Amino acid sequence: MNQYSKRRSRLLETLPENAAVILFAGKAPMRSEDEAYEFSINRNFYYLTGLDKENMVLVMYRLDGTSGEYLFIPPYDEKMARWVGGRMLKEEAAAVSEIKKVEDVGDLDSFVASLLNRNRRNPDFTMFFDFWHYEFDQSLSLAQRYANKLKENYPALAFKDVYPALAKMRLVKDEQELESIRKAIHITNNGILKMMKSAKPGMNEMTLEGIFSFVLAQMLCHRTAFGTIAAGGKRATILHYHDNNRVINDNELFLCDLGATSDYYCADISRTFPINGHFSDRQKEIYQLVRNAQKIVEANAKPGVKLKDLNQMVIDYYKQELPKHGLNEAVSEYYFHSCGHHLGLDTHDIDGGLGAVLKEGNVITNEPGLYITAEGIGIRIEDDLLITADGCEVLSKEIIREAEDIERYMNGQ
């Protein structure tokens, strides 16, 4: 049994008797004219199948003590194969996912109709979809559209969201997932080292971003985890700066927040370094405060603690230290995000909520920062932590982060 098969069994166990789950792989939205945006697989579909192709649908059910699983995929098309490469054959999809019953996606409606007909007299029968929705007015997902279509034809049918059950599973990473995250971090490390070695005053932010992307391509990593943030000087005080198109002047700091992926698993790392290879005394002083805040999180992240508690420790530390460094104690003026989030198939993975209690197997980020607009200093240091039985492991510890180590490395010592 591979990991996808095991996860499907575990999910089915969490569902009530007489229920079905329908999960859509998704479809790339159109961008302009005849060009679509890059396709990005529905992560829950991927988590349960290992497949990352468009227009596939997973159906699982539990009925009267029996269960079943079916995959619906686009039929193999010779012409499409010549234009854009082959679609997956049924046997290929079956081999990756270990789902034995693979059908044409055109047969989905009649299959669902027969499932519903079998349950005509069952008032408890419930259909589960992934109804994750981020913004109030975002365009409808395939799941929402399909549920709306079913609701029109079967108005008494009950729907539920399968997202919470999957979220609970995805928050605790298994060995395969950790291996992918470690690989993504390792690739990210190589990209950051190359940026540090290439940095020179007068360089454009875009050039450093390009160096990172080039290293990823060299290491056969096809995608970044999110849009790279490459911010020089005072642009580093903008939390999610994305223009990446300005010159970084001598004596300025450069903040990069970026990540490679491996099998869709993300790294999310921030490093801040001096573009000329030497921190000024003031830059180093602020850098050390951020690094100390990070160490507090590292020392306290363990099962039973909440992200919210870790963030409060960072705020308390800053409140005590900032006035000693010519800053006022209103911490939110300089630090206005929280110290971390879950990480996995998405960069901001599964919203466990700041109040959720950490568990062994969670992967979180540790990313305190300080953003001093008046001085044009923005510093964030971000590492990725695995929560262990009694503490945490810094998965990204190989990526240099002490100020002296950065200077030594940048100056070839």
What residue ranges bind ligand GLY (CB under 6 A)? 226, 257, 268, 341, 347, 367, 382
Q: How far, in whole angstroms, is CA 33 from its chain's centroid?
A: 30
CB of 73 to ligand GLY, least distance (A): 33
Nearer to ligand GLY, 130 or 257 (CB): 257
> Angle 232-257-222 (CA atoms, 0-180°, nearest 5)?
120
Verify binding: residue 384, Mn ion, rule CB under 5 A.
no
CB of 148 to ligand GLY, least distance (A): 33
Nearer to Mn ion, 8 or 342 (CB): 342
3-class SS of residue 404: helix
CB of 255 to ligand GLY, least distance (A): 11
Residue 277 is encoded by which pair of tokens?
């290879």
Nearer to ligand GLY, 180 or 224 (CB): 224
> Angle 327-329-331 (CA atoms, 0-180°, nearest 5)?
95
Candidates 119-127, 235-243, 307-315, 359-367: pick the segment binding Mn ion (CB under 5 A): 359-367
Helix (H) or strand (E) holding 24: strand 19-24
Q: Are 62 and 12 in contact (CB under 8 A)?
A: yes
β-pair partners for 365: 384
Beta strands in 163-307 (DSSP E): 229-232, 253-258, 261-262, 265-266, 269-274
Q: Which does 226 bind (CB under 5 to 8 A by kind): Mn ion, ligand GLY, none?
A: ligand GLY
CB of 384 to ligand GLY, least distance (A): 10
Nearer to Mn ion, 127 or 225 (CB): 225
Q: Which does 76 bind (CB under 5 to 8 A by kind): ligand GLY, Mn ion, none?
A: none
Nearer to ligand GLY, 22 or 256 (CB): 256
Between strands 126-129 and 158-161, the pairing is parallel
CB of 346 to ligand GLY, least distance (A): 11
Backbone angles phi, psi at 156, to 5 degrees: -90, 0
Q: Which does 346 bind (CB under 5 to 8 A by kind): ligand GLY, Mn ion, none?
A: none
Residues 6+ apart with CB under 8 A from 150: 112, 116, 127, 157, 159
Nearer to Mn ion, 23 or 313 (CB): 313
Q: How far is 90 from 295, CA to CA, in rounded Å?
A: 50
Verify binding: residue 365, Mn ion, rule CB under 5 A.
yes
Q: Which does 53 bind (CB under 5 to 8 A by kind): Mn ion, ligand GLY, none?
A: none
Q: How far is 229 from 259, CA to CA, in rounded Å?
A: 10
Verify binding: residue 257, Mn ion, rule CB under 5 A.
yes
Q: Which does 154 bind (CB under 5 to 8 A by kind): Mn ion, ligand GLY, none?
A: none
Candidates 74-82, 104-112, 198-206, 260-268: pick the segment binding Mn ion (CB under 5 A): 260-268
Residue 72 is encoded by which pair of tokens?
């619906």
Candidates 128-136, 253-261, 354-362, 397-405: pick the segment binding Mn ion (CB under 5 A): 253-261
Report the residue closest to ligand GLY, judged by CB: 257
Amino acid at 308: K
Nearer to ligand GLY, 183 or 341 (CB): 341
Q: SS3 breakdown of the chain: % helix, strand, coil, rounded to 5?
A: 40, 20, 40
Count Cβ atoms within 10 A of the Cβ of residue 284 and give its class: 0-12 exposed, 13-18 middle, 19 or more buried.
Answer: middle
Q: Which does 252 bind (CB under 5 to 8 A by kind): Mn ion, ligand GLY, none?
A: none
Verify binding: residue 268, Mn ion, rule CB under 5 A.
yes
Residue 412 is encoded by which pair of tokens?
């070839």
Give the interface with Mn ion as residue ranges (CB under 5 A). Answer: 257, 268, 365, 382
